[in-house]
Each structure stands twice: as C-alpha cells, then as structure tokens.
C-alpha cells in the first residue's frame, strides 16, 4: 500500500511541529525578511537570529568569507536588543502560525536569565540558549566548553522561564557528549547541534585575515559530516530530543541527521544560496517517505543501521 500523505509532524520539547524543518539562528534574520521568497507558514518552526539585552553593532567588516564548501562568518550578534525585538519583530512573527523559537545570547548568567524573563510572553514558544558566548564572569571562557558553566547557565535559564529551553551546543569541544549530559541534567528540554566550527582564512597577498574579526564560524556542507557524527554521539548519550544542523542543503542532508538521531533539523547556509531551500527540503522529506513507504517521519529518528 502506498503512503500518499506521510505524517511529517514531530514533537520537540512539548511543541508540535508540522514538519521537522526550521531555520537556523543567524541565517534567516527574524524570518520576515524571507517572507517574499517562501511561505513561512509551511515551516516546522522559525528560529530567530540571536537577541541580546542591549543593541549590538556587531564585529568590524569584512564579516563574511566564502569557502570552498561553505562560508565563514563573524557577524558578532548584531541586533537591536530585546526590547526592540519584542516591540518591532515579534508581532509580525506571530502572524505566520508556526512556533517561534528565540535564540538568546548574553555575557553572563544574569544577562541570560533577564532575557529569559523578558521573552517569556505570548508569541514566543521556546528559547534557544546560545552557550557559545564568552562568559565575562569567567575571564571570557565560552560557556559551552565547560560542563559546570553549561549546567549553571542551563539551570538558571530554566528557573527563569516556563518556556521550553533548548541548549545549542558548540562543536569546539573535546567531547560534546559531556556537555550534552550537563545540559540535560540541568533541566534542558532539548538540544540543538552543531553550532559553527571556529575557522580562519588569510589573504596571502595582503598577509592579513579575510575577516575583520580574524576568526569566524565555519558553516555549510564542509561541516556536515562533523554534525552527523556529533548528533549520533549525543543521541546515544542523552534522552532529549535533538535538533540537528550543519550543512543541510537538501532533503538527503536532513535525512542523514534524522537517521543519526535528530528529531528535527535546522537549515542555515543554504538560505543564502537559495532562499526557498527549506520548502524544497520539506518536499524532499515527503517524497522520501512516499518512496520508502514510511508513514511517519518520526519512525526514521535514529534509525541508522
């Protein structure tokens, strides 16, 4: 019997998504910028670019550098600040009828908790905690590279909100499963991974870095095998739902992450190449399910042999 209309719905941290495809933070603006290129109401969820307490101008240019299989970026969390986001961006996002996940970023535990409190309001369905931020309380050490700091930050954010808390893991660590367990034990409702890999590119004629910030985050197809491996490792280590990301350019790329253990996937760099790429991924997932007689895409989560 053919599967004409496979069920693409998935559950993440108490949220029901009509399909497992969402935007990756920092690659899709606040969602509304892409409204003329694709139907935002068809997405599983919209994940906003990072929101900070105060407005930030970001890093000095140049901020983006294309690489052979992806891109480096050092935007520096440019955004108008939490109050402006709530006032100017959130009302538009509510109109699309899909879950809105707000990525939050801070320099200290206090900043994160204040953001969580401010954003615990109608129209926000979950928070994604960017633990790749430097912690000024610990001499600039990044939250996400230390178990204790990850746990303390996660626990504090969970205590400050009733919204689902999704912790976004950094790949720039020795063992990502240790960090994942720390977030789980501290109360995280889900994990998203991976964030960008730290990279650098040099202009050999000028003998200077291509990026104004010297280093940046590497994303795109080049990092997908790393993302698939880390998702698989973390899926074996925790009992939380995972949002996999890293180089998803088509449905097959998304399926790799799902088979490795991700319940949902986020699309990032592909949005710069083809603004309607997420709709293509959704269609491709449905086609795959029909071809392979899969009634529910949730059956594929972690189903790698």
Q: How many CB atoms lie within 10 A of CB 39?
A: 12
The Cβ-side half-sphere exposure at 116, using a 13 Å CA radius, reads 26
Token output for 38: 């694709």
Q: Is 289 a catalytic residue?
A: no
List the Cα angle 157/159/162 in 5-degree steps: 90
Q: How far apart are CA 273 and CA 30, in angstroms?
A: 18
Three-class DSSP labels, 189-253: CEEEECCCEEEECEECCCCEECCCCCEEEEECHHHHHHHHHHHHHHHHHCCCCEEEECCCCCHHH
Spatial neighbors of 145 by CB under 8 A, at least 6 apart, are 170, 172, 173, 179
Alpha helices for the chain (secondary structure H)? 82-84, 90-93, 109-118, 147-160, 176-185, 224-237, 251-260, 270-273, 277-291
Candidates 133, 147, 158, 289; catalytic one: 133
What residues act catalytically? Answer: 133
């Amino acid at each position: 019997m053919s599967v004409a209309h496979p069920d693409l719905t998935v559950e993440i941290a108490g949220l029901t998504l009509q399909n497992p495809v969402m935007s990756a933070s920092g690659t899709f603006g606040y969602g509304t910028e892409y409204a003329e290129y694709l139907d935002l109401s068809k997405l599983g969820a919209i994940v906003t670019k990072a929101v900070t307490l105060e407005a930030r101008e970001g890093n000095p240019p140049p901020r983006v550098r294309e690489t052979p299989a992806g891109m480096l970026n050092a935007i520096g969390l440019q955004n108008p600040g939490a109050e402006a986001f709530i006032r100017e961006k959130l009302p538009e996002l509510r109109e699309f009828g899909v879950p809105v996940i707000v990525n939050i970023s801070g320099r200290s535990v206090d900043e994160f908790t204040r953001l969580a409190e401010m954003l615990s309001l109608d129209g926000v369905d979950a928070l994604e905690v960017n633990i790749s931020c430097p912690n000024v309380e610990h001499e600039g050490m990044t939250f996400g590279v230390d178990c204790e700091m990850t746990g303390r930050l996660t626990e504090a954010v969970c205590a400050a909100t009733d919204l689902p808390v999704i912790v976004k893991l950094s790949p720039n660590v020795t063992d990502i499963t240790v960090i994942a367990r720390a977030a789980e034990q501290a109360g995280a409702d889900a994990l998203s991974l991976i964030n960008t890999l730290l990279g650098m590119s040099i202009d050999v004629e000028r003998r200077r870095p291509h990026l104004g910030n010297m280093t940046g985050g590497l994303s795109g197809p080049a990092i997908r095998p790393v993302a698939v491996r880390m998702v698989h490792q973390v899926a074996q280590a925790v009992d939380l739902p995972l949002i996999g990301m890293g180089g998803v350019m088509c449905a097959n790329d998304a399926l790799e992450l799902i088979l490795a253990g991700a319940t949902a996937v986020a699309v990032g760099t592909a949005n710069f190449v083809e603004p309607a790429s997420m709709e293509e991924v959704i269609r491709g997932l449905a086609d795959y399910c029909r071809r392979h007689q899969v009634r529910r895409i949730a059956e594929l989560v972690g189903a790698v042999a």
